[in-house]
Structure 1
């Protein structure tokens, strides 16, 4: 542990939804800091540390408290009590949307990036349902801050020419079997129409319904960039997954928290893929997916210079400049 720092020394916020995601980032901290005294008006429990040149304050949502509203509550308290935060990351696991266009596998990582008319995250159930059953979206969520989108562009460029190496970060989990790659033989994608046979595993599910995919050359996580679907619902149906994906121009994954953050706590969303958003989902891949997402987030922070952060407005300054988003002191 390092000497106690001050609240204003922390410039990066990091939000997790579940404890396995908090475990992943805690292990990847380059330095863990002594906890600051608890603010009596703040119910969040924080983890403090450093990644590269950046002092990071990490918060995990309360056990069992999921969804957009809880995410907004946790993030708002963080922003109120750490006024120097310049940008934030929402890092954890999500359900992938495999398609002919995007060969998403378990353990891959999706990074929110504006595409088409969407800003990187879409609240897919919020809107009016027409006669054809299609939902007309009524709200638009903010895009991630420019400094993060710049880092995403650099990360994407480096990954194309194999100039990033996530294996160094993932190696830190080698002594934790649950956090290790679970094996290509345990990455099974079923056809969208085929529902899971009862039981905790897919041992009784029909192999006839398995989608055949080309074997990858290695087990390194592949990075995907695009829009993420978010709302207060667990996506557990292949046909419904694909329906929303078509309506939303090919979203890459589903999750339950980010939509509660984008307009009040601008951030970049990074999701490790732990299932395929269908009825076959289970938690076997959650730890590895959380580790992969945290590793990508750490790599991304390494691309952002400290001086660039200092010159970036705080989240509170950004929001105070927008009508109707004044923050309280």
Structure 2
């Protein structure tokens, strides 16, 4: 007999902003559930499924931005009375050199900051601009699961390749962009990156003589000719930057993804200027790891956890080549987290719809009967 599901069965809300982020979320589901009816005016399109012990409803925003995120999350809470934790999962821009392309950033409280701050919302006062837009800390159940997951990763590491392998096995026709990082053999240098000049003819002669000496005398008497210099690494650390005789820039992207925990800056504009990016970081005491466009719209009462795969460095070199892969690794971390999150702990959290009702922030619609 086929399993049947009701609106009250779903306790985890997963929100994403782009179609490629929705693809990443779908391929991480252990099981996909059939669709359910929804409120007549609810503009969201939902996907239903489960990961481990949790039944999950996924909503993809109609458009990016903080207002759309707030609207979609409120409708989700109205339609699903038992959602107790929310996750905002997708891609974002990293702040070098703290974060590299291909890393994962998870919002966590840092010093006086709660985890996510809206950098473009506040009040102009005599002492200057005071920010007032910030999300509350993630729900206690999520924070406890993160601590447990951090301990597991310290012991055994984050087995990203296992999740990617499972995705590939279950979805053999999935586009390779979601499973493998781009190679991009030739890219222009970043605006904040200094490139070494091409070697001169005399340098070639010197290297040839050194090679002969190295061969005759032995390795102990002479350092390796091709040792990696710190000056040859990009500011973000995402790639080894090589300069050939004709000035062509080549990069060998690394595959390893690091998980970083800290502050995410959210706003309503795409950041693709290194100076502006660094100014946002400076204004938040150099605590920012990632910038993005939706999370601050989820309001204090949702207490969401924001998880971002880093697809660019929020500068003039911003491009889309890493977006699919970044979306999948963020979703893979989310699945790893949900596998560490106990359903009994989720049930201890107050349903988000009840919190919104108490604060008078819910819509006036009547939820569907379950």
TM tier, smaller: 0.7 to 0.9
Q: What is the aligned partner in structure 1 of residue 284 from structure 2?
A: 248
Q: TM-score if structure 1 supplies the norm length?
A: 0.85
User: 2-side partners of 1:297 and 1:189: how far apart?
Assistant: 32
Q: What is the aligned partner in structure 2 of residue 265 from structure 1?
A: 302
Cα 1:297–1:187 shift into 2, 3 Å: farther
Residue 294 (structure 1) aligned with residue 331 (structure 2): yes
Cα 1:29–1:140 shift into 2, 3 Å: closer
Q: Secondary structure at the match of 1:164?
A: coil
Question: Which of 107, 118, 130 pairs up with 2:113?
Answer: 118
Q: Secondary structure at the match of 2:50?
A: strand
- Cα-to-partner distance string for 1:24-62 (whole Å, 9 max, x where unaligned): 110110000000123212121100000011000000011
1:136-285 map, 5 Å: 136-174=130-168, 175=172, 176-179=175-178, 180-183=180-183, 190-192=190-192, 211=235, 213=237, 219-249=255-285, 250-285=287-322
> Tell me, which stretches of 5 or more residues in structure 1 are unaligned?
195-207
Report if aligned partners of 1:167, 1:220 keep a CA contact under 8 Å in 2.
no
User: 2-side partners of 1:130 and 1:188: how far apart?
Assistant: 42
Question: Once structures 1 and 2 are overlaid, which stretch shifts more, 281-290 or 164-173?
Answer: 164-173
Task: Report the count of equivalent residues.
Answer: 309
Q: What is the aligned partner in structure 1 of residue 46 from structure 2?
A: 46
User: 1-side partners of 2:333 and 2:281: how far apart?
Assistant: 24
Higher Rg of the two aligned structures: 2
Question: Which of 334, 338, 342 pairs up with 1:305?
Answer: 342
Residue 106 (structure 1) aligned with residue 101 (structure 2): yes
Question: Once structures 1 and 2 are overlaid, which stretch shifts more, 229-238 or 136-145?
Answer: 136-145
Q: Secondary structure at the match of 1:74?
A: helix
- Cα-to-partner distance string for 1:84-140 (whole Å, 9 max, x where unaligned): 0010100000000013xx2x22111000001011110000011245799x6321344
Q: Secondary structure at the match of 1:284?
A: coil
Question: Which of 61, 65, 68 pairs up with 2:66?
Answer: 68
Question: Once structures 1 and 2 are overlaid, which stretch shifts more, 241-250 or 175-184?
Answer: 175-184
Report if aligned partners of 1:125, 1:135 keep a CA contact under 8 Å in 2.
no
Q: What is the aligned partner in structure 1 of residue 93 from structure 2?
A: 95
Q: Secondary structure at the match of 2:89?
A: strand
User: 2-side partners of 1:42 and 1:241: how far apart?
Assistant: 35
- Aligned-pair distance for 1:182? 1.9
User: 2-side partners of 1:294 and 1:211: how far apart?
Assistant: 26
> Tell me, which stretches of 5 or more residues in structure 2 are unaligned?
195-231, 241-251
Cα 1:326–1:40 shift into 2, 3 Å: closer
Q: TM-score if structure 2 supplies the norm length?
A: 0.76
- Aligned-pair distance for 1:143? 1.3
Report if aligned partners of 1:2, 1:34 keep a CA contact under 8 Å in 2.
no
User: 2-side partners of 1:272 and 1:2: how far apart?
Assistant: 36
- Aligned-pair distance for 1:173? 4.5
Q: What is the aligned partner in structure 2 of residue 6 from structure 1?
A: 6
Report which of the two has the higher share of helix.
2
User: 2-side partners of 1:163 and 1:261: how far apart?
Assistant: 31
Question: Which of 60, 75, 78 pairs up with 1:77?
Answer: 75
Report if aligned partners of 1:76, 1:264 keep a CA contact under 8 Å in 2.
no
Q: Secondary structure at the match of 1:94?
A: strand
Cα 1:77–1:220 shift into 2, 3 Å: same
Report if aligned partners of 2:193, 2:234 keep a CA contact under 8 Å in 1.
no
Q: What is the root-mean-square deviation in Å for CA atoms of aligned residues?
A: 2.8
- Aligned-pair distance for 1:2? 5.7
